[in-house]
Structure 1
Amino acid sequence: MMKYIFGLLVIAGLAVFGWLYNLYEEIKHDVDSVVNYSPKQSTQFFDKDGNLLANTFKDENREYVKYDDIPARIIEGLVAIEDTQFFEHYGINPDAISRAMIKNIKAGGYVEGASTLTQQLIKLLVLSREKKLMRKVKEALLAIRLETVLTKEEILERYLNHVYFGHGYYGIKTAAKGYFNKDLYELSLKEMAILVGLPRAPSFYDPTKNLKISLARANQVITRLNTLGWINKEQYEESMKETPVIYNQTLTKNKAPYAVDYAISLLINDIPDILYGGYKIYLTIDLSAQEIARDALKASYDEAIKRDLDFRKNSKNPNDDTYVKELNGAMISLESGTGRILAFVGGVDYNQSVFNRAYQSKRQAGSAIKPFLYQTALNEGYNPASQLFDISRTYNYTVGGVQKKWQPKNYGGNFEGVVSLRDSLVASRNLSTLNLVTDVGVPVVTEALKKYGFNDIVDNLSITLGSMSVSLVEFSEAYSAFANNGTQVKPYIIEQIVNKDGKTVTFEPQTKEINTPEQNYLMTSILTDVVNKGTGKSAQVPGIELAGKTGTTNNNVDAWFCGYSPSIQTIVWFGNDNNTPMRKTETGGKIAGPAFSYFFKKYLEIHPEIPRNFIKPDNVYSTTINGKEEFYTDISPVPEIDSLIQQQPLNPNEEVLEF
């Protein structure tokens, strides 16, 4: 009888073994996803000095850490509280299984598990969380299989990087930075204990929500370490008393959202997983300059709102906010010599509007286009002292068979008769500009504008009023020819990309020579006068030479200030998002110029070492004309001044032209 029973047991044992072997052969390759572990990882954006600007991710915010960079105390704490015999077993712990079975039988249900860390990793990455016998069998078989393929260290590395630590943090490195604002090597023993105690029930033990419960769980970890003799009495007592500072932070930590959004827009088509592929993106952004630009834009915005409120107090409709409810702005600042973008702000408040006006919006250039027109004239042989007719011309033209008339005027309605090219641009005079472009030739000017990179150009005199539409990025590239001594630079915001395998891609400046330094200096000298005594007075900053041009489009729809110091260029724009007019007070000099001034004043405080004065090239000469110093070059010689024309006021309606 005993032989019969024994025989049955042997047969049953062989059957079970055979079943387990067949099941093992069937599922053993399921561990491949663990062996070839490639989790979603957060991409990190840094400024030029290595300061973290933002984390971006899809579903899981995770920063990966190699096993060798994980402190030994974290490993000890995890093993002590979750799987004391981890380094001795082969994937499953028979002793723990036996204890759990006895407790579950006594309780008449499932009250305790016996999963090793290897089994937990299998459960996280391969199997469901159901408490069924078949799942537990598969889990045990796969755990045994995994330990034949990976080392203990590799298993722990995957576990600590994959597991959820609550509060949106995946992986222990992310959790350390999120909860404590620290790297792993900076953590105290108590902080480590809090972290390794979280995976059991991350929401329940989340220290930002349940600090007392989280500390109690951490104390269990520390007590277990002490019981095992892995820490001494002094370490135990010190850690039990500690209450760490807990941070309740956002996941992205985005300190420069408009800049990061722009960088993503440049990369997303070529690198589809840029948001969650574990990249490290090093931007050209200077975080301090970014913050100054943001504050500068907000300060000018607030002043415009205040002016509007003051106006409405004495109006018939004090509650009418038509002129300001859509008001917004943008600013880009870059290194003139390289094109590296230091500050990129696409709106007054990212929390109110994520629309990025610095590159997603195109607006009319207005009078800010004039330096390009005047530089073309200088390159054609004109000189800053050349005389221009500041008189009105009436233009007849036909649209759809209908005869129309255009009689442009200067801002304010006056005219001078004759002005110098320098004074015309300094005062931003429309009539003399129209006459200058007419004399130089519209085709010549339009071709020159295309050379600077302008695309939305019509081949008629409307170009003199800045009818073309440009984004701030495009305008920044065009203006860089002035700011960089005649050599145009392409603005760029991405310095370097490092993928999770350490492969690096580096970006370099792109340049194109447009004007010679000599011809360009003539324009810089004029634009310096614009700031010192012209329409750009509001942009002045004591202690540094600045050059620039205001721009205001018809009906005050757009307001610009485009300018530069000897090393930094900054473009500012304000307007209503729906393209409706701002108040008549809101010109480029009134709303955009002060933001430019604010930026350079504050930037100079933290970077007093930047160049302060423009340097005149050797081939630029000076002379005295009518008691004033004037510059000339071989291409732009001193003009012959006709004193009779200077003295003769001309009829403002002197000429009628067809176009």
Structure 2
Amino acid sequence: MILTKKKKIVLILAFIGVVFYYFCLPKKLFDNPTSTVVTSKNNELLGAVIADDGQWRFPELDSVPTKFEHCILQFEDAYFYKHFGFNPVSIGKAMVENIKAKRVVRGGSTLTQQVIRLSRKNKERSYFEKLQELILATRLEFRHSKKEILNLYASHAPYGGNVVGLEMASWRYFGLKPHQLSWAETATLAVLPNAPSLIYPGKNQQKLKIKRNRLLQKLQEEGIIDQITYDLAIEEELPQKPYPLPTVAPHFVQEVTKQHRGKRIKSSVDIHLQKQVNNLVKQHYFRQKQNEVYNMAVLVLDVETRKVVSYVGNSPTDKMHQKDVDNIVAHRSTGSVLKPFLYAQMLQSGDLLPTQLVADVPTEIAGYSPKNFNLTFDGAVPANEALTRSLNIPSVRMLQRYGLEKFREDIKAYHINDINKSADYYGLSLILGGAEASLWDLCKTFAGYAGIVNHYEELKHNYYEREFIEPSFLFEETPSFGEIKKDYTTLDAGSTFLTLNTLLDVNRPYTDQAWKYYDSSQKIAWKTGTSFGNKDAWSIGVTPKYVVGVWIGNSDGEGRPDLTGVGSAAPLMFDVFDVLPKSNWFLEPYEDLIEVAICEKSGFLAKPICSSVTKRVQKSAMRAQSCPYHQQVMVDKLEKFRVNSNCESISNMKSKSWFVLPPLMAYYYQQNNADYRPLPNYRSDCNRLESNLMGFVFPSKSITKVSLTKGEDNQLNPIVLKLTHSNSETKVYWYLNEQFIGITQQYHEQAILPKEGTHIITVIDDFGNELKKVLEVKK
């Protein structure tokens, strides 16, 4: 068949017309920015953030409530499901009435046409614009189902002011979700988009009521609602004022908005728990406020899923006290919170056993002098007790022995983002709060510890490649721990379990002292921290199921007396655990622990001369040190004096295993341990030269700076020098700047009143042992 030129032109034009028609409708009808909407895992609204253009416009609905569908169709477009984008009958009737009235008194647009008009920003009405809307409406009917078109209308209809869409209008005018509205409330929202600038709640009440009741009457006439429902509906009051949106987790919503602006996000937060934690925070806020402490934060993580289940970024304070600061992500001085991490790493490396004695004596390391919180010394203390009591000096000495650089490299695996400087930058104060971290990262790390132990048994004595992953707040996101491996990546299960077990014994606040004696009490591994100057109070607890982290302080950094981890943050942490489901304790990873003989006194691997106990410890314990504090000594029959073959016959000598600490450790240790017995002195006819018998108590540093003080009589007080000696009968000779100043025996204390300047203190004992210290005196 041969086409004529005219037919070809017609076909070409037809083809162009079809192509134009196909592409005339934009792929995305609405490109307006939308509000960020965050819901709980229970599908309850947690909060929302206004769209970038200042409009409250929620993301498009997935479906429209049945009540609203009935109402809007009866009010706007009764033949919606029968027409194909436009209704010729309605258009004709509208034209006739408008011509007669010589003004627009009736519209003939279908809902589909109204969707097109809304997408075109309500351009000025003209016959040409009407024609375009009609063509686009038919194209829309080709592309979308009727339900989808209805959803588009409900999502973008104007509701007065800066309120757009059914969902936002429902919250604004009734404080409810759309599907929770009554027939009267739904009818009110169905008539509002018809004239949002003229009729809205709070004004024009009579006009609004007439429109609403007319619609309700039509619903009754059409048999959609019965007479009783109609009678009750018309008696309902109209909304008088706007309702505020829910603000159950405002800081959480702001954090979600940073990553998912303009989206509808279903989070992992449990709204019921969130409300309970909000109430607990409110109660604790009023208590802390009395100490002029105004800010706090609580984070609850699910260990198994690493999901956020509760997020309270701040207390219900005011703008003057930085109510908008999110203290969960803010970086603060860690205080003592990092101590368990050092303990765990030292266990794993074999540098430490749980009950091994560590020194707690006056310490100076390269000019740095750590102090315990109570300003006392224990001489020697088991490592696990040093951790549960959060002693500073043993922690610093342990860090020095383990290696600052090594520990800094270890904690890189925890991905604590704010600890990002070199080891030299932090120095040994790293373990006492010299670094900063967020509550988010610290809770993430404790969750990783719990995950290592949980997964060890679940994976049949294997490990995940990644345990210290970022927590998620998305309901549908699945955690990715990486590949399953035979060997651990960061920590082994045995060392981790022993660390968590040790943290069970941290002394609870006074309200929970008797927790061990109740079967119903939950086991919680927890650690507190208090930063220098009492600026930050931390408490973080972990069970196999949950991690609860609490920070309390002032967001502006102001410190307050009595603001401590155990006194301020811990009570709130335990209150939060009380509203969480209880869980059993971790399963002991038997395959990753071994039984060894531990010295009963020192906690080191037992020597044959030690009194020992069998304990289950980490596998790396085989590399640990044997007890350095037990000696085999020879004593007389009464065990009163030490003797040797030069002064006593072998038949009258006894071999005895003796627990002996270095002099300075022994000096403080025996003050807290009445059963400590120093080595007996040599019998007078058996004395011999020994080394390392003396130790200064004061001054303890190589170079010590002191200032002379005055007493009540305005006279200068002397400086009292103190020394400890393993042989109480030995005489010690004191020298100040090479000048002899006195002799002491048994109790080695010497008072001096030196002039301002630098002085050298020298002591020599009967055996020729000598020690020197430098004293810098200022007035």
**TM-score after normalising by structure 1:** 0.75
Which moves more between the two structures, 479-488 or 624-633?
624-633
The alignment partner of 2:423 has SS state of coil
User: In structure 1, what is the equivalent of residue 343 of structure 2?
Assistant: 374
Is the Cα contact below 8 Å between 2:509 and 2:567 reproduced in 1? Answer: no
Is the Cα contact below 8 Å between 1:347 and 1:357 reproduced in 2? Answer: yes
CA separation of 1:226 and 1:80: change in aligned 2, threshold 3 A:
farther
2:473 to 494, 497, 500: 494
Is 1:648 the equivalent of 2:633? Answer: no
Is the Cα contact below 8 Å between 1:90 and 1:147 reproduced in 2? Answer: no
| Map 1:381-460 → 2, pairs under 5 A | 381=350, 382-396=352-366, 405-453=367-415, 454-459=419-424, 460=427
| Map 1:172-183 → 2, pairs under 5 A | 172-176=166-170, 179-180=173-174
CA separation of 1:557 and 1:173: change in aligned 2, threshold 3 A:
closer
Inter-partner Cα distance in structure 2 for 1:192 and 1:126: 26
Letter in 2 for 1:525: N
User: In structure 2, what is the equivalent of residue 635 of structure 1?
Assistant: 620
Is the Cα contact below 8 Å between 1:44 and 1:55 reproduced in 2? Answer: yes
The alignment partner of 1:53 has SS state of strand
Inter-partner Cα distance in structure 2 for 1:338 and 1:622: 36
Is the Cα contact below 8 Å between 1:166 and 1:206 reproduced in 2? Answer: yes
User: In structure 2, what is the equivalent of residue 317 of structure 1?
Assistant: none
User: In structure 2, what is the equivalent of residue 579 of structure 1?
Assistant: 557
The alignment partner of 1:523 has SS state of helix
Inter-partner Cα distance in structure 2 for 1:301 and 1:328: 7
User: In structure 2, what is the equivalent of residue 196 of structure 1?
Assistant: 190
Cα deviation, residue 243, structure 1: 1.6
Inter-partner Cα distance in structure 2 for 1:617 and 1:601: 27
2:130 to 140, 152, 174: 140
| Map 1:28-427 → 2, pairs under 5 A | 32=24, 36-38=28-30, 40=32, 41-58=34-51, 59-65=55-61, 70=66, 73-79=70-76, 89-90=87-88, 93-104=91-102, 110=103, 112-117=105-110, 120-121=114-115, 123-126=117-120, 135-151=125-141, 153=146, 158-166=152-160, 168-176=162-170, 179-180=173-174, 188-202=182-196, 204-207=198-201, 212-224=206-218, 234=227, 238=231, 241-243=234-236, 250=243, 252-265=245-258, 267=259, 274-276=260-262, 279-306=263-290, 308=291, 324=293, 327-349=294-316, 352=319, 353-359=323-329, 361-381=330-350, 382-396=352-366, 405-427=367-389
Is 1:520 the equivalent of 2:496? Answer: yes
The alignment partner of 1:354 has SS state of coil
User: In structure 1, what is the equivalent of residue 566 of structure 2?
Assistant: 589
CA separation of 1:65 and 1:295: change in aligned 2, threshold 3 A:
closer
CA separation of 1:519 and 1:575: change in aligned 2, threshold 3 A:
same
CA separation of 1:280 and 1:408: change in aligned 2, threshold 3 A:
same
CA separation of 1:490 and 1:241: change in aligned 2, threshold 3 A:
same
Inter-partner Cα distance in structure 2 for 1:249 and 1:622: 71
User: In structure 2, what is the equivalent of residue 12 of structure 1?
Assistant: none
The alignment partner of 1:299 has SS state of helix
Inter-partner Cα distance in structure 1 for 2:213 and 2:402: 83
What residue ranges of structure 1 are gaps of 5+ in the alignment?
1-24, 105-109, 268-273, 309-322, 397-404, 498-505
CA separation of 1:126 and 1:31: change in aligned 2, threshold 3 A:
farther
Is 1:558 the equivalent of 2:527? Answer: no
Letter in 2 for 1:611: S
Q: What CA deviation, in whole Å up to 9, does each residue of 1:8-66 have, x standing for no partner? A: xxxxxxxxxxxxxxxxx9xx989946885235455532323333323445124245346
The alignment partner of 2:358 has SS state of strand
Is the Cα contact below 8 Å between 1:560 and 1:571 reproduced in 2? Answer: yes
Quick check: which has more Rg, 1 or 2? 2
| Map 1:5-24 → 2, pairs under 5 A | none
Is the Cα contact below 8 Å between 1:539 and 1:596 reproduced in 2? Answer: no
CA separation of 1:556 and 1:633: change in aligned 2, threshold 3 A:
same
Q: What CA deviation, in whole Å up to 9, does each residue of 1:516-559 have, x standing for no partner? A: 11111221122111145999969999610111111112111221
Letter in 2 for 1:138: F
User: In structure 2, what is the equivalent of residue 465 of structure 1?
Assistant: 432
Letter in 2 for 1:495: L
Q: What CA deviation, in whole Å up to 9, does each residue of 1:122-181 have, x standing for no partner? A: 554437565xxxx43224323443454344947655444432134754333544465456
Q: What CA deviation, in whole Å up to 9, does each residue of 1:212-249 have, x standing for no partner? A: 5433211122345567x566883785366442685966
Inter-partner Cα distance in structure 1 for 2:312 and 2:186: 39
Letter in 1 for 2:261: L
Is the Cα contact below 8 Å between 2:161 and 2:197 reproduced in 1? Answer: yes
2:442 to 475, 479, 497: 475
Inter-partner Cα distance in structure 1 for 2:442 and 2:469: 11
CA separation of 1:144 and 1:343: change in aligned 2, threshold 3 A:
closer
The alignment partner of 1:524 has SS state of helix
Cα deviation, residue 594, structure 1: 0.9
1:601 to 578, 595, 599: 578
Cα deviation, residue 589, structure 1: 0.7
Inter-partner Cα distance in structure 1 for 2:589 and 2:301: 23
Inter-partner Cα distance in structure 2 for 1:363 and 1:513: 28
Letter in 2 for 1:458: A
Inter-partner Cα distance in structure 2 for 1:477 and 1:220: 58
Cα deviation, residue 592, structure 1: 0.9
Cα deviation, residue 345, structure 1: 1.8
Is the Cα contact below 8 Å between 1:39 and 1:162 reproduced in 2? Answer: no
CA separation of 1:452 and 1:93: change in aligned 2, threshold 3 A:
closer
Inter-partner Cα distance in structure 1 for 2:408 and 2:229: 79
What residue ranges of structure 2 are gaps of 5+ in the alignment?
1-16, 454-463, 483-487, 602-611, 631-658, 669-695, 705-779
Inter-partner Cα distance in structure 2 for 1:447 and 1:185: 54
CA separation of 1:437 and 1:246: change in aligned 2, threshold 3 A:
same
CA separation of 1:539 and 1:467: change in aligned 2, threshold 3 A:
farther
The alignment partner of 1:556 has SS state of coil
Inter-partner Cα distance in structure 2 for 1:124 and 1:376: 63
Is the Cα contact below 8 Å between 1:206 and 1:214 reproduced in 2? Answer: yes
Which moves more between the two structures, 586-595 or 621-630?
621-630
Inter-partner Cα distance in structure 2 for 1:67 and 1:476: 38
CA separation of 1:174 and 1:615: change in aligned 2, threshold 3 A:
same
User: In structure 1, what is the equivalent of residue 14 of structure 2?
Assistant: none
2:587 to 604, 611, 615: 615
Q: Which has the higher contact order (CA 8 A, sep 6+)?
A: 1
* Structure with higher helix content: 1
The alignment partner of 2:547 has SS state of strand
Inter-partner Cα distance in structure 2 for 1:555 and 1:233: 70
User: In structure 2, what is the equivalent of residue 107 of structure 1?
Assistant: none
User: In structure 2, what is the equivalent of residue 315 of structure 1?
Assistant: none
The alignment partner of 2:434 has SS state of coil
Cα deviation, residue 253, structure 1: 2.7
